[in-house]
Structure 1
């Protein structure tokens, strides 16, 4: 894998309200970066913009040579290159309830990327096995535990073999043991050469798992650096507030 993620001057507005006011961020292959900030700071908006799930009004986004520009979202047919490079795991997992775990993982490769069902099934089973949930392949989402649902969602995001994995609040509602297991999984994915950008309120998780921390406040990037340094010696008031505030709870 080569390339990485480059976000330059990213601006997003809802009507006259600016959600993001010029965000710059880079994530290299093999790097795990935490995107932190209070609720409403714009973390999910950054992730959704990178994944072309919402338009942005200024700046540029590039993932391994695939560029997104301001304005309306391109048609999905023009986003196949991006879908191969970026996978996203949503906070609520967003699995399709009428499909089994295996069918959820197969969905995008078959319908978005045009794979044969045989190839998609083989890849999906291998991913479910790698993530320790192959025994749940025929289960429907309502029968899965929270941890199992999350691993199926990760498998779904990994099916196209993306360079970049985006995760929105992955430790929300996970107990400490499951947070630890998730951290090990994410470090293994980074070891394969993937870049990971993780929106999180979980300071302990960010310190233990992430290489760098980027802190958003009021739509701008106010602090960026090695996780240990930023979380031990924060230089901005927003970071200090995050470290001592109620949102330190993993469920925040």
Structure 2
């Protein structure tokens, strides 16, 4: 397998029902790839398989040199290498409400990677500052705006120094201005040499930010290529359905 993130022939099931059907996908270092599809297409399952949060039944995943194989998930003690190479930002941020922004960011480095608290706090403060929320280091999640919480969640995912960053519907709670700021942030992370795989249904965001777009339909990859080529000249019905957006609600 080549590329910072390589997914080959990925199959997954849930309750005996196929969820992913032979997905092949590569994301290079320095690239943002938008993983798109209507709800239920399998986007989140791909991300969770790469992050070793869900098992898969066939195929293989290589993320920055760490390989995952089909079958039950490895014990967490055997996933330390993956946790330092792959970061994930969840749709709902999933920040711990009883911890400050700084404490949320230091949690994994201290408890999973064995860093000293002083080192973790210094790295966390630098990350928060770089993402524009350094002044909010002592704030609790309930005190943060949606955009601030998003940036803290990104800092937390970046704290172990991963080369692959996964994001699940990052624009779902953001207004247009904050979507633009998030796009700038993601492009900056890609310029640092990271590979970003972003599950989204936000067509404008994908067109503006992603280098490539991969479209899933019923668990299969049906279209893949440069973002503007796929989104401006779609060839598959699933992509055209995605571009139409949801039907308007009845009056």
TM-score, structure 2 as length reference = 0.97
Tell me what 2:28 maps to: 28
Deviations 1:87-131 (A, max 9, x none): 000000000001000000000000010100011000000000000
Tell me what 1:160 maps to: 160
Shift of 1:15: 2.5
Shift of 1:247: 7.9
Q: State the Cα RMSD in Å.
A: 1.2
Q: State the secondary structure of the residue aligned to 2:91.
A: coil
Deviations 1:167-215 (A, max 9, x none): 0000002110000000000000000000000000100000000000000
Is 1:100 paired with 2:100? yes
Counterpart-to-counterpart distance in 1, 2:93 and 2:4: 24
Q: State the secondary structure of the residue aligned to 1:38.
A: coil
TM-score, structure 1 as length reference = 0.96
Shift of 1:142: 0.6
Structure 1 stretches (4+) deviating beyond 6 angstroms? none
Q: Are the aligned partners of 1:3 and 1:65 in contact in 2 as well (CA < 8 Å)?
A: no
Tell me what 2:38 maps to: 38
Q: Are the aligned partners of 1:55 and 1:71 in contact in 2 as well (CA < 8 Å)?
A: yes
Q: State the secondary structure of the residue aligned to 2:230.
A: helix
Shift of 1:65: 1.4
Q: Are the aligned partners of 1:223 and 1:236 in contact in 2 as well (CA < 8 Å)?
A: yes
Is 1:119 paired with 2:119? yes
Q: Are the aligned partners of 1:201 and 1:247 in contact in 2 as well (CA < 8 Å)?
A: no
Q: Are the aligned partners of 2:213 and 2:224 in contact in 1 as well (CA < 8 Å)?
A: yes
Tell me what 1:233 maps to: 233
Structure 2 stretches lacking a partner, 5+ long: none
Counterpart-to-counterpart distance in 2, 1:235 and 1:102: 46
Shift of 1:152: 0.2
Counterpart-to-counterpart distance in 2, 1:142 and 1:173: 15
Shift of 1:3: 4.8
Q: State the secondary structure of the residue aligned to 1:93.
A: coil
Counterpart-to-counterpart distance in 2, 1:64 and 1:100: 30
Structure 1 stretches lacking a partner, 5+ long: none
Shift of 1:16: 2.1
Number of equivalent positions? 247
Is 1:47 paired with 2:52? no
